Amino acid sequence: MPIFLDCDPGIDDAFAIMVLLGIKRLTLLGISTVGGNVPLELTSLNARRVLELCGRGEIPVAGGRPGPLQKTLVSAEEVHGRDGLGNISLPEPAAPEAKGGGISLLVDKILSVPRAILLATAPLTNVAVALAEHPEIRSHIQRIVWMGGSTSFGNVTPAAEYNAWADPEAARQVIRSGVPFVMVGLNVTHQVALDRATLAHYRALGNRVAATAAQMLDFYVTFHEQVAGTDRSPIHDAVAAVAAVYPASLRTAACAVDVETTGELTEGATVVDLRGLVAPERPIEVGMDVDAEFHLEVMRDALASFA
């Protein structure tokens, strides 16, 4: 199944790209970027830098929306570094950004195949605009797999996860769109953690991509050590990527889901009806449990696949 990625690299987005490229049977149609972890100019540059590092500069990248539909962008340099990749200063990419912008790239690439998976690891601004302005893509999307939301705890506020909180209006529009949707929330991504021992294993793989991944992830693990007192760091976007490629690795529940857009304490919360109180027209597939060992194995094998 071909995959199109919308992301905001960001360390875990960048790692997700490396993992996807390391799964050789996969076709990555293209990458659109959005303002999120860092501003749009950097998320686009970072996606191109990672593709160049992996020798896949031919995969098209284009920047979409710089910020949310209504809110003002709040970025996360404290988590991802000033450059968005842990301040590792990857070289400039040779390949230029694709012309026409990220939303056109997303639409063109999705329409170019009968069915595709749309993997989104960022605020859903680009996806919301693409679905609103180009409804013809709906029938070409086998499913949207989103790293976002949560069935319980948040990470930006006690109630809200960053990708939902950054643009709750976009998240609400896409979740209500009726396009088949799989939510890979914090309740799932926190089941898969990498730590300093994992980074040592990546360095021992002996290739430049794995070594760069370890260098980039070092910043991310240090952040988690500082805020959580442990080096066990949830690698959110890579979990969504592996779940998109290997859906059997994620146990889901079909639930009604909506997004709070105005709550004083709950803005950005994904409200998940786990007890079937509401009969939704089209339930969302909400991730509940994941095979963490398998995910870490896929990530390691993907990094090992680079020369």
Q: Which residues contact ligand RIB (rule: CB under 6 A)?
A: 8, 10, 12-13, 36-37, 121-122, 147, 155, 161-163, 236-237
* Minimum gap (Å) between residue 206 Cβ and Ca ion: 28
**What is the DSSP secondary-structure string of the chain?**
--EEEEE--SHHHHHHHHHHHHSTT--EEEEEE-SSSS-HHHHHHHHHHHHHHTT-TTS-EEE--SS-SSSPP---HHHH-TTSSSS--PPPPSSPPPTT-HHHHHHHHHHTSSSEEEEE-S-SHHHHHHHHH-GGGGGGEEEEEEE---SS--SSSSS--HHHHH-HHHHHHHHTT-S-EEEE-HHHHTTSEE-HHHHHHHHHT-SHHHHHHHHHHHHHHHHHHHHHSSS-EE-HHHHHHHHHH-GGGEEEEEEEEEE-SS-TTTTT-EEEETT--S--SS-EEEEEEE-HHHHHHHHHHHHHT--
Q: Is residue 6 near Ca ion by the rule CB under 5 A?
A: no
Residue 145 contact partner, candidates Ca ion, ligand RIB, none, CB within 5 to 8 A by sort of partner: none
User: Looking at beta carbons only, is 145 or 205 nearer to Ca ion?
Assistant: 145
Among candidate residues 140, 224, 236, 295, the one labeled active-site is 236
User: Looking at beta carbons only, is 122 or 250 nearer to Ca ion?
Assistant: 122
User: Looking at beta carbons only, is 8 or 260 nearer to ligand RIB?
Assistant: 8
Q: Which stretch binds Ca ion (CB under 5 A): 85-93, 121-129, 153-161, 290-298?
A: 121-129
Q: Is residue 291 near Ca ion by the rule CB under 5 A?
A: no
User: Looking at beta carbons only, is 170 or 205 nearer to ligand RIB?
Assistant: 170
Residue 151 contact partner, candidates Ca ion, ligand RIB, none, CB within 5 to 8 A by sort of partner: none
* Minimum gap (Å) between residue 46 Cβ and Ca ion: 11
Neighbours of 176 (CB within 10 A): 16
Is residue 96 exposed (0-12), middle (13-18) or buried (19+ Cβ within 10 Å)? exposed
Q: Is residue 121 near Ca ion by the rule CB under 5 A?
A: yes
Neighbours of 255 (CB within 10 A): 21
Residue 155 contact partner, candidates ligand RIB, Ca ion, none, CB within 5 to 8 A by sort of partner: ligand RIB
Q: Is residue 10 near Ca ion by the rule CB under 5 A?
A: yes
Residue 48 contact partner, candidates Ca ion, ligand RIB, none, CB within 5 to 8 A by sort of partner: none
Neighbours of 126 (CB within 10 A): 29
* Minimum gap (Å) between residue 220 Cβ and ligand RIB: 10
User: Looking at beta carbons only, is 187 or 198 nearer to ligand RIB?
Assistant: 187
* Minimum gap (Å) between residue 111 Cβ and ligand RIB: 26
- By C-alpha distance, which of 94, 100, 248, 79 is closest to 161? 79
Q: How many CA atoms lie within 13 A of 34 on its CB side?
A: 28
Q: Is residue 13 near Ca ion by the rule CB under 5 A?
A: yes
Residue 161 contact partner, candidates ligand RIB, Ca ion, none, CB within 5 to 8 A by sort of partner: ligand RIB
Q: Which of 29, 47, 122, 235 binds Ca ion (CB under 5 A)?
A: 122
Is 236 annotated as catalytic? Answer: yes
* Minimum gap (Å) between residue 6 Cβ and ligand RIB: 11
* Minimum gap (Å) between residue 49 Cβ and ligand RIB: 16
Q: How many residues does the chain have?
A: 307
Residues belonging to the active site: 236
Q: Rule CB under 5 A: which residues touch Ca ion? A: 8, 10, 13, 121-122, 237
